């Protein structure tokens, strides 16, 4: 197995784990982490795409760096909202999901 | 060319200055940036009307390395509409979100978020690169979520988190499709992708991106986040969120289906999108019928109105693209998007003015307000006329164009949905209008001055004027129209 294929499969596995977590998790902080997992998986996959031909394609690297900055700001806002929500309401899940939290 | 850069740079610079300054200075800088961006938007529109489509390769780099910005008829229509709504929202924020009325946190936070939202909207309307569109739509979501959460109460925060989960999931789906497109073609520029060799993964990529953008547009069944988010935000913020934000992801959908991959527009997929649109029209209208709070009625009405936007897909896309009726359906859709944006913003601002007097937006509290605030009430009624689609409003022109092309195509069913949806809209807007104009003795309340009442009236009049003077915008829309929709005329 070539290393780009290995990276692509790793990315796919990360996306799968993240997707499972997104459906399964109820704690809001966990949901934020699953978004990060899926995003990271996509970036690993995109990196593998850039290495598939002979030589390097620099564009995926530029895209990944930009994407990481976007993901970082989204995560920061998300965590801030979850913290504010749990301070205001006293819980870190949605009200209708409380019974099994 | 400079106006093209100015509509992006001015609001962004204004947002940064607004964060750095404080108190009155924030508001003054933000209003100055708004005025400047409105002027730039109008200048851009004037130069596109006289010189045709404008194109800017950022930094002099050509694609596939560089990013292209392009102003065509569709983007100009959206940018000018956005500028009007934004200026109206910022003027009404001056009195509704003043520090003494809304608290220092809201009074400060509104301005930078509003300008960031404006930057992101203009970036989405102008970008010709799929990744740049991703960054634009993500910035748009972050600013919109911030506006929903602005008041900091538990209900607002929970609405914001729900919105965030849908918006982030949508972004990731879009990003996944984008990665597949790059893997197959090694390019993300819309112009380059239009001439690509079709690849096997194209259909999957298009499906992923479409699902993500539907979640952001709040098309049924991804609409559940919209009513609490739009109904809970401060009124000037709701006006922007409901009138403008769903249009941005919708415009990306148009670019994908009509410019990037018109060859992948299978009839079944287009019919599915229109079917979801019908479900949205019915669900949103019934939702609006049973609400007892004004803002929720207006928010559910947005769910219904977004449904109409998707009805035009089977009439203008796929096999219909080459047919004579496609052009009419396309124009009708853009008319619909623009007149809905203006009318919905007018409605939210009008409701916000009553709320700021009454302290509540329950329907029975609004009884008899027409005698206290006649101009605001008139604005609400004019906006209702556009939403229902009665002549001579922009909403009527839109529905007329889409209906004629539905009958020309022999797909009369979509026309029937349009007519039925109009009846439903009349039904759910009857209750608020009847309450406002009911005869009732209302106590003497400190109503906002006539100057502020003009703001929603201006927006509502613009939505109606779109129907009366429809030929000028009609010509604008034919400019730089994607090939797939142009052949029909």
Question: Confidence band (pLDDT; 50, 70, 90) for B489?
Answer: very low
- Asked if residue B312 is part of any domain, the answer here is yes
Contacts of B176 in chain A (CB under 8 A): 15, 42
**pLDDT beyond 80 at B485:** no
A50 to chain B: closest CA residue: B183
> Within chain A, which residues score under 50 in pLDDT?
98-101
Taking the C-alpha atoms of residue A56 and residue A47, their distance in angstroms, rounded to an integer, is: 10
Q: Where are the beta strands (DSSP E) in B214-321?
A: none
Contacts of A67 in chain B (CB under 8 A): 134, 175
CB interface of A with B, residues 37-76, below 8 Å: 38-39, 42, 45-46, 49, 52, 57, 59-60, 63, 66-67, 70, 73-74
For residue B487, what pLDDT is reported? 41
For residue B64, what pLDDT is reported? 80
| pLDDT (average), residues B417-438 | 92
For residue A53, what pLDDT is reported? 60
Question: Confidence band (pLDDT; 50, 70, 90) for B425?
Answer: very high
- Asked if residue B287 is part of any domain, the answer here is yes
| pLDDT (average), residues B41-53 | 91
For residue B352, what pLDDT is reported? 92
Q: Closest to B138 (Cβ–Cβ): which among A38, A49, A74?
A: A74
CB interface of B with A, residues 26-85, below 8 Å: 64-65
| pLDDT (average), residues B37-45 | 95
Does the beta-carbon distance from A88 to B162 stay under 8 Å? no
Contacts of B153 in chain A (CB under 8 A): 88
Contacts 24+ apart (CB under 8 A), B218-222: B218/B166, B218/B246, B218/B302, B218/B303, B218/B306, B219/B273, B219/B276, B219/B277, B219/B280, B219/B306, B219/B307, B219/B310, B220/B276, B220/B277, B220/B279, B220/B280, B220/B283, B220/B284, B220/B303, B220/B307, B221/B276, B221/B279, B222/B166, B222/B170
Tell me, what DSSP letter sits at residue B410? T
Residues 6+ apart with CB under 8 A from B374: none
For residue B346, what pLDDT is reported? 96
Would you call the peptide bond into B221 cis, given omega within 30 degrees of 0 as the criterion? yes
Q: Closest to A28 (Cβ–Cβ): which among B64, B65, B161?
A: B161
Does the beta-carbon distance from B131 to A66 stay under 8 Å? yes
For B185-227, give the secondary structure using H, E and C. HCCCEHHHHHCCCCCCCHHHHHHHHHHHHHHHHCCCCCCCCHH
**pLDDT beyond 90 at B1:** no
B153 touching A, CB under 8 A? yes
Q: Which domain, by its residues, includes B315? A: 275-489
B416 touching A, CB under 8 A? no
- Asked if residue B328 is part of any domain, the answer here is yes
Three-state SS at A94? coil
For residue A97, what pLDDT is reported? 60
B136 to chain A: closest CA residue: A70
Does the beta-carbon distance from A78 to B168 stay under 8 Å? yes
**pLDDT beyond 80 at B477:** no
For residue B479, what pLDDT is reported? 67
CB B73 within 8 A of CB B480: yes
For residue A99, what pLDDT is reported? 43
B142 touching A, CB under 8 A? yes
Task: Kindly state the tokens that stand for A77.
Answer: 């806002």
Does the beta-carbon distance from A73 to B142 stay under 8 Å? yes
**pLDDT beyond 60 at B393:** yes
> From the candidates A70, A73, A93, which should be mutated to test the interface with B, based on the most B CB atoms within 10 A?
A70
- Asked if residue B425 is part of any domain, the answer here is yes
Question: Confidence band (pLDDT; 50, 70, 90) for B164?
Answer: very high
Tell me, what DSSP letter sits at residue B23? T
For residue B482, what pLDDT is reported? 59
What pairing do the DSSP bridges indicate for beta strands B54-57 and B68-71? Answer: antiparallel
Does the beta-carbon distance from A81 to B164 stay under 8 Å? yes
Please give, rounded to a whole number of angstroms, the shortest distance from the CA of A72 to a CA of chain B: 12
**pLDDT beyond 90 at B387:** yes
A48 to chain B: closest CA residue: B183
For residue A101, what pLDDT is reported? 37
Sole residue written with tokens 């729900």: B162
* Total tally of structural domains belonging to chain B: 1
- Asked if residue B410 is part of any domain, the answer here is yes
Question: Confidence band (pLDDT; 50, 70, 90) for B348?
Answer: very high
For residue A96, what pLDDT is reported? 65
For residue B486, what pLDDT is reported? 47
CB interface of A with B, residues 4-43, below 8 Å: 15, 22, 28, 31, 35, 38-39, 42
- Asked if residue B96 is part of any domain, the answer here is no
Taking the C-alpha atoms of residue B46 and residue B51, their distance in angstroms, rounded to an integer, is: 9
Contacts of B66 in chain A (CB under 8 A): none
Taking the C-alpha atoms of residue B92 and residue B471, their distance in angstroms, rounded to an integer, is: 30
**pLDDT beyond 70 at B444:** yes
Share of chain B above pLDDT 90, in %: 60
CB pairs under 8 A between A and B: 77
**pLDDT beyond 70 at B174:** yes
Average pLDDT along chain B: 90
**pLDDT beyond 70 at B139:** yes
| pLDDT (average), residues B376-402 | 91
Least confident of A59-68, B44-53, B95-104, B157-166: B95-104
Task: Encode pLDDT of B241-275 as tens digits.
Answer: 999 999 999 999 999 998 898 888 888 899 999 99
Contacts of A40 in chain B (CB under 8 A): none
Residue of B425 and B316 predicted with greater confidence = B425
Does the beta-carbon distance from A35 to B172 stay under 8 Å? yes
> From the candidates A63, A75, A79, which should be mutated to test the interface with B, based on the most B CB atoms within 10 A?
A63
To 5 degrees, how large is the angle CA A71–CA A72–CA A77? 100
Question: Confidence band (pLDDT; 50, 70, 90) for B349?
Answer: very high
**pLDDT beyond 50 at B35:** yes
- Asked if residue B123 is part of any domain, the answer here is no
Does the beta-carbon distance from B172 to A38 stay under 8 Å? yes
Sole residue written with tokens 């556009």: B386
- Asked if residue B167 is part of any domain, the answer here is no
Residue of B86 and B406 predicted with greater confidence = B86
């Amino acid at each position: 197995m070539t290393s780009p294929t290995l990276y692509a499969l790793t990315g796919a596995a990360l996306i799968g784990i993240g997707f499972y977590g997104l459906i399964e998790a109820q704690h809001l902080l966990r949901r934020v982490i699953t978004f990060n997992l899926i995003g990271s998986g996509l970036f690993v996959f995109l990196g593998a795409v850039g290495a598939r031909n002979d030589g390097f394609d620099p564009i995926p690297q530029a895209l990944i760096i930009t994407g990481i900055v976007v993901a970082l700001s989204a995560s920061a806002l998300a965590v801030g909202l979850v913290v504010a929500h749990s301070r205001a309401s006293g819980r870190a899940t949605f009200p209708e999901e409380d019974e099994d939290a | 060319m400079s106006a093209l850069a100015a509509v992006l740079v001015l609001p962004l610079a204004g947002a940064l200055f607004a964060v750095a300054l404080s108190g009155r200075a924030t508001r003054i800088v933000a209003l100055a940036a708004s005025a400047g961006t409105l002027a730039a938007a109008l200048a851009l529109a004037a130069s596109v009307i006289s010189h045709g489509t404008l194109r800017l390769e950022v930094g002099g780099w050509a694609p596939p390395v560089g990013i292209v910005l392009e102003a065509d008829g569709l983007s100009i229509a959206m940018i000018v509409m956005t500028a009007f709504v934004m200026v109206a929202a910022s003027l009404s924020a001056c009195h509704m979100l003043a520090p003494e009325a809304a608290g220092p946190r809201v009074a400060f936070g509104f301005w930078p978020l509003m300008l960031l939202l404006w930057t992101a909207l203009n970036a989405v309307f102008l970008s010709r690169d799929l990744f740049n569109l991703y960054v634009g739509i993500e910035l748009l979501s972050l600013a919109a979520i911030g506006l929903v959460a602005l008041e900091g109460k538990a209900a607002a925060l929970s609405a914001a988190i729900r919105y965030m989960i849908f918006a982030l999931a949508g972004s990731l789906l879009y990003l996944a499709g984008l990665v597949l497109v790059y893997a197959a073609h090694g390019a993300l520029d819309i112009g380059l992708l239009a001439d690509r060799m079709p690849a096997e993964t194209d259909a999957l990529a298009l499906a992923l991106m479409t699902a993500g953008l539907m979640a952001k547009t709040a098309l049924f069944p991804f609409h559940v986040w919209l009513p609490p988010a739009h109904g809970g935000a401060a009124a000037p913020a709701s006006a922007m969120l409901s009138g403008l934000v769903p249009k941005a992801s919708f415009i990306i959908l148009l670019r994908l289906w009509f410019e990037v991959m018109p060859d992948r527009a299978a009839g079944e997929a287009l019919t599915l999108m229109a079917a979801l649109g019908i479900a949205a029209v019915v669900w949103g209208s019934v939702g609006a019928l049973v609400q007892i709070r004004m803002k929720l009625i207006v928010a559910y009405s947005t769910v219904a109105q977004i449904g109409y936007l998707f009805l035009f897909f089977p009439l203008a896309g796929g096999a219909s693209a080459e047919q004579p009726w496609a052009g009419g359906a396309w124009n009708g859709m853009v008319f619909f998007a623009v007149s809905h944006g203006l009318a919905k913003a007018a409605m939210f601002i009008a409701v916000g003015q009553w709320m700021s007097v009454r302290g509540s937006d329950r329907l029975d509290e609004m009884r008899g307000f027409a005698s206290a605030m006649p101009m605001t009430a008139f604005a609400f009624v004019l906006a209702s006329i556009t939403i229902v689609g009665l002549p001579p409003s922009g909403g009527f022109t839109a529905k007329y164009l889409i209906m004629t092309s539905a009958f020309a195509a022999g797909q009369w069913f979509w026309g029937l949905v349009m007519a039925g949806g109009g009846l439903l809209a009349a039904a759910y807007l009857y209750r608020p209008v009847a309450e406002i104009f009911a005869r009732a003795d209302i106590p003497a309340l400190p109503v906002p001055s006539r100057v502020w009442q003009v703001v929603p009236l201006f927006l509502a009049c613009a939505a109606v004027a779109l129907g009366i003077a429809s030929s000028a915008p009609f010509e604008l829309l034919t400019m730089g129209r994607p090939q797939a929709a142009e052949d029909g005329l």
